[in-house]
Amino acid sequence: MPLWVDLRRGAASAGPMRRRSSRRSSIEAPYYGIRSDRIVWSVQEEEHLRAGVTRFLGSPTIWCDIMREYQFQPGCDNYSLQRKWQQLNRDRGEWASVRQASFVRPASPSRRRADGPDSLEPAPPPPHSQGVLVFSETPPFGVVSPPEAAAALGTSLSCARGVLAEPQLSELRDALVALPKSLAWGNILSRSQSRSKRKIAWLDEDVRARLAPTLTAVDGPNHIAARYLQEDEASMGALQAVCTNALASQLVAPFGMSEPPLAFQPNFQHDDFPLHYDDPMSDGFGRQIVTLNVKEHAVVLIEESLDGSGRRWHFKLAPGDAWALRGYARERCVHGVQFRRLCEPCFTGCRLCRISLNLRCGEYTRAEARRVVSAWNRLEASWASPLRKQS
């Protein structure tokens, strides 16, 4: 799995092709019969394929289910459906909006630290970064160096060290590790994204009633099958026991956040989180976002995308650190998180993953959300391939 997405390079410069892995993903079903690589698809068959993916998204036998329920021409098999779906979404990307470009993967260390079995050495800095960000030691902990980054980012990007200390941090970590995990961090059709998991804990039922439908929207960037969201909500009580309003107040206090907390989103990372922006019209809601680094070290990459500079900066996180996005950094920059690759998906009781806890604060109005998304869509239209949207 690539670490960093080069948003500036199109598919034509994506580098040499790599041999297709013989290893199937969990959503690939075995195919039978003669495989036909040259099939002329009718408009009706393409509509059947789109309808089938929408209907069976989340099923471990998605391609078999589509073949069983819809009529396709002779010679079309499970493999053909998967290839055609990739072709139909090539311009839209791996998710509903992934920018496919060239990747650079630096070596990721796996050496254990001496201070505990669950800790790892910090990862090396990402490539193409102009430098490491330095943050103020006083609230609201905005960027103070390098000067170019401080002028552009200011307090729209903040990082406070040691926001949560022991034993509270260990208690939170153990509670999150014990939770059942069913929601993929990105799209379940992506091998790398589906290994990482997430959960959602609403702090207000009225907010849940308004925003939860956006998570299951078919046209959303990370459409969640309704049954998986229901399974996740079945364990809501255990999650809400640790993700409380008191914890929310503790996280927003260092940054002086003015927006009310809406929901917590724990993330269980098993691979790199590529450069992406949080879509405010879907599962990336929230005008201001505070993220607590609960477990493991990590490196965060920030790119100034919409202003045309494309400058990249990075900073490191240790357990207990928290960082915040708002304003310019929230709406006009993309961010990603570097972490080592874990081949197995996250599971209940998993202690291998990196854990972070997002706190999403404040609602955009419909008009404001459209304004943010439209700016990214205009940038996307000027490039060869789309840009990643995520939560």
3-state DSSP of 218-269? CCCCCCCCHHHHHHHHHCHHHHHCCCCHHHHHHHHHHHCCCCCEEEEEEEEE
Tell me the pLDDT band of 89, cut-offs 50, 70 and 90.
Answer: low
CA of residue 190 relative to chain centroid, distance:
11
Reading the block at residue 47, the tokens are 């509509």
pLDDT tens-digit map of 52-83: 877 776 666 788 888 888 888 888 888 888 88
60 compared with 224, residue with greater pLDDT: 60
Q: Is the pLDDT of residue 105 over 60?
A: no
Model confidence at 230, in pLDDT bands (50, 70, 90)? low
* Chain segment 284-325, per-residue pLDDT in tens: 889 999 999 999 999 999 999 888 678 899 999 999 999 999
Which segment of 57-61, 108-112, 278-282, 350-354 scores lowest on mean pLDDT? 108-112
Give CA–CA dist 26/23, Å, rounded: 10
Predicted confidence at residue 215, as pLDDT, reads 65
Cβ atoms of residues 112 and 11 within 8 Å: no
Looking at residues 353-359, what average pLDDT do you find? Answer: 95
pLDDT digits (tens, 9 = 90+) for 131-182: 899 999 999 999 999 999 999 999 999 999 999 999 999 999 999 999 888 7
State residue 119's pLDDT score: 37
Amino acid making up residue 3: L
| Of the candidates 255, 273, 267, the residue with the CA atom closest to the CA atom of residue 334 | 273
- Output the pLDDT for position 279: 86
Confidence of residue 122 (pLDDT cuts 50, 70, 90): very low
What is the pLDDT of the chain when averaged over all its residues? 75
* Amino acid 250: pLDDT: 95
Quick one: which of 162, 127, 160, 176 has its CA closest to 299? 127
Could you tell me which residues come within 8 angstroms of residue 144 by beta carbon, excluding any fewer than 6 positions away? 134, 135, 136, 150
Report the pLDDT averaged over residues 110-124.
39
Contact present, 204 and 259 (Cβ < 8 Å):
no
pLDDT score of 225 more than 70: no
| pLDDT band at 13; cut points 50, 70, 90 | very low
pLDDT above 60: residue 189 = yes
The per-residue pLDDT for 12 is: 35
**pLDDT-derived band at 125, boundaries 50, 70, 90:** low
Residue pair 235/179 in contact (Cβ under 8 Å)? The answer is yes
Choose between 23 and 275: higher pLDDT.
275
Residue 365 to residue 372: CA distance in whole angstroms? 11
| pTM metric for this prediction | 0.67
332 or 31: whose pLDDT is higher?
332
Q: How far apart are CA 250 and CA 83, in angstroms?
A: 48
Could you give the CA distance from residue 71 to residue 62 in angstroms, rounded to a whole number? 15
Contact call for residues 194 and 268 (beta carbons, < 8 A): no
Mean pLDDT (whole number) for 197-207: 86
- Kindly tell me if the per-residue pLDDT of 30 is higher than 90: no
CA–CA distance, 265 with 268 (Å, rounded to integer) = 10
* 187 confidence band (pLDDT: 50, 70, 90): low
Spatial distance between the Cα atoms of 285 and 47, rounded to a whole number of angstroms = 30
DSSP letters for 43-97:
HHHHHHHHHHHHHHTT-TTHHHHHHHHS---TT--HHHHHHHHHHHTTTT-SSTT
Residue 123: closest CA among 318, 313, 334: 318
Which domains can be identified in the chain, with CATH numbers? 131-382 (2.60.120.590)
The confidence score (pLDDT) of residue 152 equals 93
Two structure tokens written together for 85: 């779906």
pLDDT exceeding 90 applies to what percent of the chain?
A: 32
Amino acid 294: pLDDT: 96
CA angle 263, 266, 268 (to 5 degrees): 160
Break the chain down into helix, strand, coil percent, rounded to 5. Answer: 30, 20, 50
pLDDT tens column, 328-351: 999 999 999 988 777 778 888 888
Residue found under tokens 């107040």: 249
